[in-house]
Chain A
Amino acid sequence: SQQGEEDPQALSIQEGENATMNCSYKTSINNLQWYRQNSGRGLVHLILIRSNEREKHSGRLRVTLDTSKKSSSLLITASRAADTASYFCATVATWEGGKLIFGQGTELSVKP
C-alpha cells in the first residue's frame, strides 16, 4: 500500500522556472528520500533527509521536511528539459526494516 501522497500529480513548466513538489505521509519515519525515474527506467536516488533534519541541499535541489505536519517538499531550481521525469518521495518508517514506501509520484514536464 502507498503511504505517501504527492501533489501535484502532474506539473508542466518552462525551462528556467522552479518546480516544487510536495509529499505527505502517515507514520513516524526514520528518513525520507526522493527519487527520479525517467520513462520506463529504474529509479535514481536524488537526496535523503533524516527525521532530525529540516532542510537539505544538493546542487539545484532543495528538500524540506516537517515531521510535525508529516510533509516534505522538493524544489528544483532553474529547471532544464533534462529534468523531465517522474519524481517519487519514499519514506523509511522507524523499525520497519528499511523498506521504502513510495508515493504515487509527480510527473514533471519541462518545456524548452
Chain B
Amino acid sequence: DTGVSQDPRHKITKRGQNVTFRCDPISEHNRLYWYRQTLGQGPEFLTYFQNEAQLEKSRLLSDRFSAERPKGSFSTLEIQRTEQGDSAMYLCASSQGWLAEYNEQFFGPGTRLTVL
C-alpha cells in the first residue's frame, strides 16, 4: 500500500475552465475527506464521504463544486467555471476502521491549482 495518491499534482487553468481532480485513498479506507488550503493558512474542510455516500458539504463548497465517490473507492472533485479565488492546494485524506471519524487521517500530496 503506497498511501493516498492524488492526480494531477499541479494544474494551471484559465478562468472559466472546468477542472477535475482525482484522489485514490488507502485501500479499504471507508472515510474520504477533501480539504482546501490557501497560502499561509491551515487546511479547510470541504466535504467527506462514508463509502460512496457524501455525508457533509461545507458552505465553502459552492454550486460550482461537485464531488463524487463512485463505488466507495476513488473520489473526484470537479470545479466548474473556475475563478481566480479557487487557486489553492486541494488535499484529500482517508481514514478507516470502527469509528473512523475518530482515527487519524492520512493525507495525499495534494493538487495545486492555479487559475490565471
Contacts and interface: CB of A to CB of B under 8 A. Distances in A.
Contacts of A96: 101
B98 interface: no
A48 B44 contact: no
B107 A42 contact: yes
Contacts of A76: none
Contacts of B42: 2, 4, 88, 90, 102-105
A75 interface: no
Given A42-B91, A43-B43, A97 B106 contact: no
Nearest to A98: B101
A92 B100 CA distance: 11
A45 B109 contact: no
B102 A92 contact: yes
A99 B56 contact: yes
B65 interface: no
Contact of A41 (B95, B102, B110): B110
Contacts of B33: 98-100
A44 B107 contact: yes
Interface in B29-49: 31, 33, 35, 40-45, 48
Chain A interface category by residue count: 20 to 34
Nearest to B31: A98
B2 to A, nearest CB: 13
B108 interface: yes
A100 B109 contact: no
A2 B60 CA distance: 12
Given A98-B102, A99-B33, A100-B35, A43 B44 contact: no
Nearest to A3: B42
B48 A99 contact: yes
B104 interface: yes
Given A30-B102, A43-B93, A92-B102, 4 more contacts: A90-B42, A100-B45, A100-B93, A100-B105
Interface of B: 4, 31, 33, 35, 40-45, 48, 55-56, 89, 91, 93, 95, 100-110, 112
